[in-house]
Amino acid sequence: MTDGAGAAGRAIPIDRSIGAEHPRLASAADIEAFEKIPYSERIAAASTFDAIKLGASVDPNAPAIKFLPNASAEDEPVVITHAQFIARVTQTANALHELGVGPDDVVSFMLPLLPQAFFTLFGAEAAGIANPVNPLLEPHQIAEILEAANTKVLVALGPMPGTDIWEKVMKIRGGLKNLKAIVVVAGPADEANGIYSFDALVAKQPHDRLLSGRTIKAEDTAAYFHTGGTTGTPKLVRHTHGNQVYQAWACNLMLKSAPGANILFGMPLFHVGGSLTQTLSTLAGGGCLVILSPAGWRNPNSVRNIWPLVQRYRPSVLGSVPTVLAATLAVPTDGFDLSSLKIASGGGSAIPVAVCNALTARHSVPVLEVYGMTETSSVHTISHVDRPVRLGSVGHPVPYSRVRIVKVDADGNYAGDCAANEIGVVAMAGPGVFSGYMMDEHNKGAFVEPGWVNSGDLGRLDDEGYLWITGRAKDLVIRGGHNIDPAPIEDVLFAHPSVAIAAVIGQPDAYAGELPLAYVQLNPGMSVQPGELEDWVRDRTPERAAVPVAIIALETMPLTGVGKVFKPSLRWDAAQRVFEQILAPLKEKGVSYEVAVGAHGTHGSVATVTLSGVPEAERAAIERQVHGALDPFVMRHEVKWG
């Protein structure tokens, strides 16, 4: 049995000027000719609501969602047609309107990948402003995001085994000054206390019109997405409807999407790659999301069953974050029909070249690496399918977008453009680029020039306009004033057959400031001999200063909710190891101590040393010893007594 569909070469519904075939964009001249039609004349949708309605108009009875409860090809999917989907979105918008949500009001939501999450995302954007929130964050972090967004309505998963979302909601609701209502999915209502049942609230609404009578403009705010870490005041990226529609249009254009096509979907909706690059683009293009259980790619079944799922649902694109793409390489393909796959694509962090080579060798498909950020509504550049793919490069800007490599001064101000192949800061402009953060305090240094967002990444443009990301300024290991880019070392480690994931960070050092330290997660069932990885890297890293001082194997690499390596956790672990070793002489004096390193709202990271087992009269001397040992390090520290 197969569940694939689609008609190759058909244009996406929200583009009114491509015609029946996708254009060939094989050169700079092709792009220039394509861009002679102004972007504003191409797009038929002003809003995300318009976009999904146009997608539904291609074939209203075709599936928009196939929900798989257990991420198995044996699951009987729950099917929601395009007509049913836009009806539920309309009803959701009307339910939120009934709760008092207007165009400037914020609806935050914390939901797994249930159908209601998708209704909420677009219903909230049709009624007001959506604010998808990572439910895996700590309660105080969630509260900070919800409060910063001025949340009026919160939609959340009710009490359910295996999740603590509702527990977090109950813990923080009292501190949310602007919160007027909570809408619970899969949980009991308590309307006397402001808690409403999602399904009951939505079911009684009309499905064929917006009760608000709202006409949504492209410049209206569609959503806030939190970014920039989880310490200090949350950064909320403001997206307009025009920003988001552009992302959907660009992704469908570059991946040559066709109405009716399936995509295996497991990205979280609080990430732009999930909500826009895959969800909105698929629905606006008349395609279908095959949802890999409420947990998405975090469900081990999603990768374990990847090839039977491909065989059944016939996607043309294998797309996800690099850690998922790498994990699929460990799953045997024998006996499965994978002929539907035409492209592999990923982003969110760099795809190791070794992974790209392995995917190409296995599936005989190009690997199109994408690059962008929340501030550009996700994908801004991609390896163009009609041009030679250069592995390690993130390709060229999508049409109507631009990239420059610029020099900035010590204060982050623009100081000139870089020459071809000169490394500098990547700056981006185009219809997907946001206008600024919700809070003005975050906009300082956000743009190198008006309209040109400062990515914070280092890169270069080669002679043919390919963009190469060479590192992230804050990810650089600075060893005695010498900048070391972690990416090449990580590539060397990943090329070892036993290594599944590799990450290089700066280990604190009192003399050099930082030393390169590597962490690895091995492939299942694999092992390495002592010194094997160290020798491997040393033999393949010409720059002696870049060779890691140690390689630490972890059973599980810390990852973010979207599958990126969470490097702050590794930096904290490295600092803790160093400080514990430096303080070891305290044990000879009978002093017990614990070192904990973590995030700090003001200083970024702080090491807390908790001492015990010392008479009161000796404490001052012991504290002086601790300060003397740790003062030479850049990282702040504090001493407590247990």
Q: What is the pLDDT of residues 360-413, one digit of tens each?
A: 999 999 999 999 999 999 999 999 999 999 988 999 999 999 999 999 876 778
Question: Confidence class of residue 229 from pLDDT cuts 50, 70 and 90?
Answer: very low
Share of the chain above pLDDT 70, in %: 95
Element (H, E) at 624: helix 619-630
Give the Cα separation of 298 and 619 in Å (integer): 47
Tens-digit pLDDT profile for residues 204-228: 999 999 999 999 999 999 999 998 5
What's the pLDDT score for residue 297? 94
What's the pLDDT score for residue 12? 74
Give the Cα separation of 123 and 88 in Å (integer): 8
Crossing angle of helices 567-582/619-630, nearest 10°?
Answer: 130
Give the Cα separation of 447 and 182 in Å (integer): 36
Looking at 321-430, which runs of residues are DSSP E strands?
343-346, 367-373, 378-382, 396-397, 402-408, 414-417, 424-429
Q: Give me 479's structure tokens.
A: 């060893």
Q: What is the DSSP letter of 279?
A: I
Q: β-pairing, 402-408 with 424-429? A: antiparallel
Asked if the domains 28-461 and 476-570 are classified in one and the same CATH topology, the answer is no
Question: What are the sequence ranges of the domains in the chain?
Answer: 28-461, 476-570, 583-641
Please compute the mean of the pLDDT values over residues 101-116 and round it to a whole number: 98
What's the pLDDT score for residue 4? 55
Beta bridge partners, 638, equal 608
Tens-digit pLDDT profile for residues 281-335: 999 999 999 999 999 999 999 999 999 999 999 999 999 988 889 889 989 999 9
Give the Cα separation of 411 and 494 in Å (integer): 36
More confident residue, 111 or 19: 111
Give the Cα separation of 235 and 222 in Å (integer): 16
What's the pLDDT score for residue 481? 60
* Whether pLDDT at 5 is above 50: no
Question: Confidence class of residue 423 from pLDDT cuts 50, 70 and 90?
Answer: confident
Other beta carbons within 10 Å of 361: 9
Give the Cα separation of 432 and 372 in Å (integer): 10
The CATH topology of domain 28-461 is: Rossmann fold (3.40.50)
Tens-digit pLDDT profile for residues 471-530: 666 677 878 666 687 888 999 999 999 999 999 999 998 778 889 999 999 999 999 999
The mean pLDDT value of the chain amounts to 91
More confident residue, 340 or 392: 340
pTM value? 0.82
Beta bridge partners, 417, equal 406
126 touches 90 (CB < 8 A): yes
CA 523 to chain centroid:
23
Question: Confidence class of residue 544 from pLDDT cuts 50, 70 and 90?
Answer: confident
620: three-class secondary structure by DSSP: helix
Q: Which residues of 536-547 are buried (b: 16+ CB within 10 A; e: fewer)?
A: bbeeebeeeebb
What's the pLDDT score for residue 471? 67
CA 575 to chain centroid:
26
Tens-digit pLDDT profile for residues 186-206: 999 999 999 999 999 999 999
Q: What is the DSSP letter of 208?
A: S
* Whether pLDDT at 161 is above 60: yes
Give the Cα separation of 586 and 2 in Å (integer): 66
Crossing angle of helices 241-254/48-58, nearest 10°?
Answer: 40
65 touches 289 (CB < 8 A): yes
Tens-digit pLDDT profile for residues 247-283: 999 999 999 999 999 999 999 999 999 999 999 999 9
| SS3 readout for 154-172 | EEEECCECCECHHHHHHHH
372 touches 389 (CB < 8 A): no
What's the pLDDT score for residue 458? 83
What's the pLDDT score for residue 231? 40
φ and ψ of 51, to 5 deg? -65, -45
The yes/no answer on whether domain 476-570 falls in CATH 3.30.300.30 is yes
265: three-class secondary structure by DSSP: strand
What's the pLDDT score for residue 1? 43
Q: Which residues of 265-288 are buried (b: 16+ CB within 10 A; e: fewer)?
A: bbbbbbbbbbbbbbbbbbbbbbbb
Share of the chain above pLDDT 90, in %: 75
Give the Cα separation of 581 and 574 in Å (integer): 11
Other beta carbons within 10 Å of 416: 10
Question: Confidence class of residue 7 from pLDDT cuts 50, 70 and 90?
Answer: very low
